[in-house]
Amino acid sequence: MGTKIGVFPASGGLGSSIVNHLAKLVPKSDLVLVGRHPEKLHDLEQAGATIRRADYDAPSTLDTAFEGVDVLMLVSYASFEIDHRTKAHILAINAAVKSGVNVAHVMGAHIQTEKYLSSLQEKVSHTIIREGLYTESFPIYTAFFDPKHPTDEVTIPHSGTGPGVAWVKRDELGEATAKLIASYVKNPTSFGYLNKALLLSGPREISLAETVEIIGRAIGKSLKIREISVDEFVNLPQIGDHLTYRGVNLSREWATAWEAIRRGETAVVTPTLREILGREPESFETTLKALIG
């Protein structure tokens, strides 16, 4: 019997991409796929994968979710709520450690969780994979600009100049992550990222001003950024619905993302994704055109 590889959550955007690529690299019978909606994994269950239900927001479901798993890919909780998200990660990590697994953890900006995982190094081996900003997430950084119903300008609390974003295709992140997991499973002793963090980024940094220009070209419309204040952003009619969690509007907290962009936190380009894929990552322009075409 081969090494059991768990993925949780396995049916979300990045999780499903990782699973689909893993299924091409390892026997499906070696997969333990854990998610809130196990019915979405029916085809893989029919092909031999083990399917379990668990939910970050229902901690008791995590107690036995990872039993028998040797290596776990833990994908970040999808939310802007930092404290709640960190607590959810820690609960899942604790359940994984209790089950005796090695953990690969996909992180956004939650340094607290990374520190916690690193503090457990004597108990569990891990790899922290910092996934770059998905090209598919561009609406979040353009005040939920809708290419199908375009406005004349993008209104955000950022001028568009300065450090930008190394946009990256989500499915290529999934493919690279799957290859990292398969590489570790096949030869743990030669795996170069054990107890380390790595960043998977797109091929080049693109300013927000250029990002918006590219979106405009893709839809055949001249498009520019108009910088507004955080107060104005928070009061945009489309913002509250998108950035409200559990009845709490987090749009002001979310606006700090543009400060992170100004500091260059999303502009770092590394060769790691290209090296793992064995090819140049897809450009922002190419992915965007496919998205809105």
Question: Domain with 217 in it: what CATH number?
Answer: 3.90.25
Confirm if 171 and 286 have CB atoms less than 8 A apart. Answer: no
Judge whether residue 134 has pLDDT over 50.
yes
As a whole number, mean pLDDT of residues 104-127 equals 75
Q: Judge if 56 and 156 occupy the same domain.
A: no
List pLDDT tens digits, range 186-237: 999 999 999 999 999 999 999 999 999 999 999 999 999 999 999 999 999 9
Is pLDDT at 149 greater than 60 in this prediction? yes
Give the lowest-confidence range in 45-54, 139-148, 200-209, 241-250. Answer: 241-250
100 shares a domain with 152:
no
Q: Average pLDDT of 18-26?
A: 97
* Span 230-267, pLDDT tens digits: 999 999 999 988 888 888 888 998 899 999 999 999 99
Query: In this structure, are 224 and 189 located in the same domain?
Result: no
pLDDT of residue 248: 84
Between 19 and 245, the higher pLDDT residue? 19
Query: Residue 1 has what pLDDT?
Result: 63
Q: How many domains does the chain have?
A: 2
Average pLDDT, the chain: 92
Q: Which two tokens stand for residue 273?
A: 């994704």
In a domain, 276, yes or no: no
For tokens 């590394």, name the residue.
270
- Flag whether pLDDT at 74 surpasses 80: yes
71 and 99 fall within a common domain: yes
Tell me if 273 is assigned to some domain.
no
Q: What is the DSSP string of 23-45?
A: HHHS-GGGEEEEES-GGGGHHHH
Say if residue 144 is exposed, middle or buried (CB neighbours under 10 Å; 0-12, 13-18, 19+).
middle
One domain, residues 97 and 76? yes
| pLDDT for 106 | 67
pLDDT given for residue 110 in this prediction: 59
Domain residue limits at 161: 135-165+203-267+282-292
pLDDT of 112 reads 74
- 229 is a domain residue: yes
pTM for the predicted model, two decimal places: 0.93
Residue 221 CA to residue 215 CA, distance in Å, equals 8
| Cβ atoms 36, 54 nearer than 8 A | yes
What separation in angstroms does the CA of 21 have from each of 150, 181, 196, 226, 271?
34, 10, 23, 40, 21
Confidence at residue 109, expressed as pLDDT on a 0 to 100 scale: 41
For residues 94 and 89, give the distance between their C-alpha atoms in angstroms, rounded to a whole number.
Answer: 9
